[in-house]
Chain A
Amino acid sequence: MANAAIVADSLTYRYGELTAVDRISFQVAEGEVLGFLGPNGAGKTTTVRMLTGQLRPMEGTATILGLDVARMPKAVQAQIGVCFETANLYEQMTAVENLRLFGRLFGVKDLNVEALLARVGLDGRGKDRVAGYSKGMRQRLMVARALVNRPRILFLDEPTEGLDPVSAEAIRNLVLEERERGVTVLLTTHNMLEADRLSDRVAFVNQGRIVALDTPHNLKQQYGKRTVKAQVAGEQGRLETRQVTLDAPDTASALQALFSQERVITVHSEEASLEDIFVQLTGRRLTQ
C-alpha cells in the first residue's frame, strides 16, 4: 500500500497463557475508514492499544504515519485521536474544562471548544459538569476529546455501543465528516450495520486473528448469497415464505415456478449481511 497511515506487522500480544492477538498484519491507507469487526474478546481492543502505544507488542511492529509506535509512542500519540470503549472523562469537570485540559496537553493554542462541542451536538451544555451527562452525551464528548488535536488518525473503540439512536447517528456522521477531511479512521465495533455503512474496508477479527479483510461489497460478493424472498398465500390463506437463491444454475426456472405456481403476495431481494458472512467464516456471532 503506497500511503499507508497504519501498518500492523505480525502484531502479537499475550495475557499469560492466552494469546489475545496472534500475528495480526494489515494496513490502512490515508483517508480510509477500516472497520475492525469481531465479538467481545476477539482481540480488537488489544490491537488498538498496541497501535496507539498503550501496550508494547510482544512480537511484530506497529507503524503509524511512518513512525514506529514502540520506539516513538509520544510522537505518534501527538498525531492521533483515541476514543475509548468506556467513558473516561473527568466527571467533576465541565465539558469545556475537559476539552481545554486535553487541548493544552496537546499544545493546541487555537482550540475552539464551542465549535467542537457544536460538532457533537453538545453546544449549550459545555459549562455543565460531566457527572450530569447521559451516556450518549458522554460518548459524544469522548469523540470531541479525540478531535481536540485535529488528529490525522482516529481510533474509535465501540463509539456507539449502547447509545440512543440520536447520539449514535451524531457520532456516525462525525466519522463520515472526518473521512471527508482526509482523516484515517480505525473503527472497532461489533455493529455490522455501522461497519457496513461507514467503512471502506472491514477486517473480521476472531480469536486474535484476522480471518477476512476486504471491502464490504467484495466480502458479500465472495462469501454471501443473494436471494429472493417471497411471501405467498398458502393453504387456507396463511402466509408462507419461499426463498430462491440467485446466481444458481436453476435460478430462472425456480423464479418462473414461483410466480406461475404460487400466489405471490410480496417479493424482496436480499443480500448477505456482514454478520452472516462472519458467522459463515468463524462459526460465531458478532454479538457473542
Chain B
Amino acid sequence: MRWHTLSPLVAKDLALFFRNRFFAFITILGLAAYVGLYLAMPQTVDEIIEVGLHARSDAEPVTEILNAQGLSFLSMDSEQELRQAVLDGVVMGGILLPEGMLADLAQGARPTVAVLVPSDTPAEMREVMVVLVEALALGLSGSPLNLVVHEETLGPDMGGSQIPPRDRMLPLLAVVVLMMETLGLASLIAEEIQTGTLRALMITPLGVGELFAAKGFTSVTMTFAQVSLLMLIIGGLQHQPLLILLTLLLGSLMVTGIGFLMASWGKEMLSVMGIGMLVIIVLSIPPFGVLFPGTVTAWARLIPSHHLADTIHQVANLGAGWGQVWQNLVILLAVDVLLFGLGIAVLKRKLR
C-alpha cells in the first residue's frame, strides 16, 4: 500500500463529494437538523400514568377512600367528560364506577365497572387497567390484599430518572448520520463506474486493493468524523467516550461495506439513493426499538445495526462499560469484516 498513491485518490474523493452541492448541503444541513431534532425531543420523562375516574354516585367517599390508600385519579364530573378525556388523550384510560357501588360491595354483590380505553391501547395496557380496577375494588371493600409484594429491580434502578426520549434517540441518530454520509460516497462510486472513470484509474499502476483502501479510508473518515462531531455536540460522548468512539468507528466500517454493496447495485445517484433509503429503513429498526421499547421483536437482532445501536444505548444511556458490551463489539467487528469483504468482492466483479 503506497500512501503517495492513496493520498491523491482520497483528496479527489473529498473534492468530488463537496463539489456535489446536494451532498455538501445535506452534510452540513444534516448535522444542524440532527442537532435540532435532538434538542426538540423531550428532556425528561413523565413517569405518572394518569387515569380518569367518574363515580355515578358516592363520588366523595370513593375519592376519600382511594386518597387514604395513596391512589390518585383524575376525577371527572360526568361520564361524558370522562369519555372525552379518554378520547382526547388527557388520561390514559378511564374508570366508570356504577351507582351505589359502595353499598353493593358492602352487601357482597358484584357490581359492573366500566373501563374506558382508547382504541389504540395495547392489550397489555388494557389488562393493567383491569387489574387496577380489581385492586381498586379491594380497596373500596375494605378487604386488604392477602399477600406482601416485594419489588426487586434488576439492573440500575431508573425509577424517577427514566431515559429521556432525546437520549433514546442517540442510536437512531448515529445510524442515520452514518448512512446518509455513506449514501453520498456510494453515489460517487456508482457514478465513477457508470462514467468509466474507475476504468481509467485501473489502467494506471494503481492496484485494486489500493483503490478500495482509498475509497474505504475516505468513507470511514467522513462518516466517523460526522457522527463523532454530532455525538460531541449532543453530549453522546459524556460517558465512556473512547468506547463510544470505537463503536462509531466500527459502525463507520459497517456502513462503508454497505456503501460498497449499494454502489455496485445502483447505477447512478438516484438509484443508489433509492436503494439507500430502503437500507436506512431496515438499519433503523433496531434503534427504533431503543427509542420505543417493546415495538421491535427479537428478529431485529439479526439486523447488522442492532449491535451498534445496542452498544450506544447501553453505554451512553445505561452507563455500561467495556465488560458489558465487549460481545457486541466483537459481533460488530465480525459484521464489518463480512460486509466489507462482500462489498469489495461485489464491486470488484462489477469493475470487470
* Cα–Cα distance between A107 and B2 once the two chains are bound (Å): 11
Asked whether any CB of chain B lies closer than 8 Å to the CB of A115, the reply is no
**B204–A105 CB distance below 8 A:** yes
CB neighbours (8 Å) of B352 from chain A are 55
Asked whether any CB of chain B lies closer than 8 Å to the CB of A269, the reply is no
Q: B170-209 toward A: CB 8 Å interface, digit per residue (1/0)?
A: 0000000000000000000000000111011111111100
User: B6: shortest Cβ distance to chain A, in Å?
Assistant: 10
Contact for B12 among A88, A93, A149, CB less than 8 A = A93
By beta carbon, the residue of chain A nearest B15 is A93
Asked whether any CB of chain A lies closer than 8 Å to the CB of B4, the reply is yes
CB neighbours (8 Å) of B15 from chain A are 92-93, 97
By beta carbon, the residue of chain B nearest A129 is B19
**A77–B204 CB distance below 8 A:** yes
By beta carbon, the residue of chain A nearest B17 is A92
CB neighbours (8 Å) of B197 from chain A are 88-90
Asked whether any CB of chain A lies closer than 8 Å to the CB of B331, the reply is no
User: B121: shortest Cβ distance to chain A, in Å?
Assistant: 55
Size band of the interface chain B makes with A: 20 to 34
**A52–B19 CB distance below 8 A:** no
User: B241: shortest Cβ distance to chain A, in Å?
Assistant: 37
User: A190: shortest Cβ distance to chain B, in Å?
Assistant: 20
Q: A69-103 toward B: CB 8 Å interface, digit per residue (1/0)?
A: 00000100110101010101111110001001110
**B203–A52 CB distance below 8 A:** yes
Question: Chain B at the A interface: mostly helix, strand, loop or mixed?
Answer: helix
**B20–A84 CB distance below 8 A:** no
**B8–A84 CB distance below 8 A:** no
**B20–A78 CB distance below 8 A:** no
CB neighbours (8 Å) of A106 from chain B are 204-205
Contact for A88 among B5, B8, B196, CB less than 8 A = B196
Q: B197-226 toward A: CB 8 Å interface, digit per residue (1/0)?
A: 101111111110000000000000000000
Of the listed residues A78, A80, A91, the one surrounded by the most CB atoms of chain B closer than 10 A to its CB is A91
* Cα–Cα distance between A88 and B204 once the two chains are bound (Å): 14
Number of A-B contacts (CB under 8 A): 65
Contact for B201 among A55, A74, A97, A105, CB less than 8 A = A105
Residues A49-73 near B (CB distance < 8 A): 52-55
* Cα–Cα distance between A97 and B206 once the two chains are bound (Å): 17
**A84–B19 CB distance below 8 A:** no
Q: B1-37 toward A: CB 8 Å interface, digit per residue (1/0)?
A: 0001101110010011001100000000000000000
Asked whether any CB of chain B lies closer than 8 Å to the CB of A201, the reply is no
**A74–B207 CB distance below 8 A:** yes
* Cα–Cα distance between A222 and B86 once the two chains are bound (Å): 100
Contact for A90 among B5, B16, B199, B204, CB less than 8 A = B16
**A88–B195 CB distance below 8 A:** yes
Residues A104-119 near B (CB distance < 8 A): 104-107
CB neighbours (8 Å) of A84 from chain B are 196, 199-200
**A145–B205 CB distance below 8 A:** no
By beta carbon, the residue of chain A nearest B352 is A55
* Cα–Cα distance between A106 and B9 once the two chains are bound (Å): 12
* Cα–Cα distance between A42 and B199 once the two chains are bound (Å): 21
User: A129: shortest Cβ distance to chain B, in Å?
Assistant: 8
CB neighbours (8 Å) of A55 from chain B are 352
Contact for A92 among B9, B16, B204, B206, CB less than 8 A = B16
**A102–B204 CB distance below 8 A:** yes
* Cα–Cα distance between A62 and B206 once the two chains are bound (Å): 20
Contact for A105 among B16, B195, B196, B205, CB less than 8 A = B205
**B19–A92 CB distance below 8 A:** yes
With A54-B199, A86-B196 as contacts: A104 and B8 at CB distance below 8 Å: yes
CB neighbours (8 Å) of B196 from chain A are 84, 86, 88
Listed from nearest, the 3 A-B pairs whose CB atoms lie closest are A88-B196, A105-B204, A104-B8
Which of B's residues lie within 8 Å of A, judged by CB?
A: 4-5, 7-9, 12, 15-16, 19-20, 195-197, 199-207, 352
Q: What would be 7 A-B contacts, judged by CB atoms less than 8 Å apart? A: A88-B195, A88-B200, A93-B19, A101-B8, A101-B12, A104-B8, A107-B5
| Contacts A55-B352, A86-B196 known; 5 new A-B pairs at CB < 8 A | A78-B204, A84-B199, A92-B16, A105-B9, A107-B4
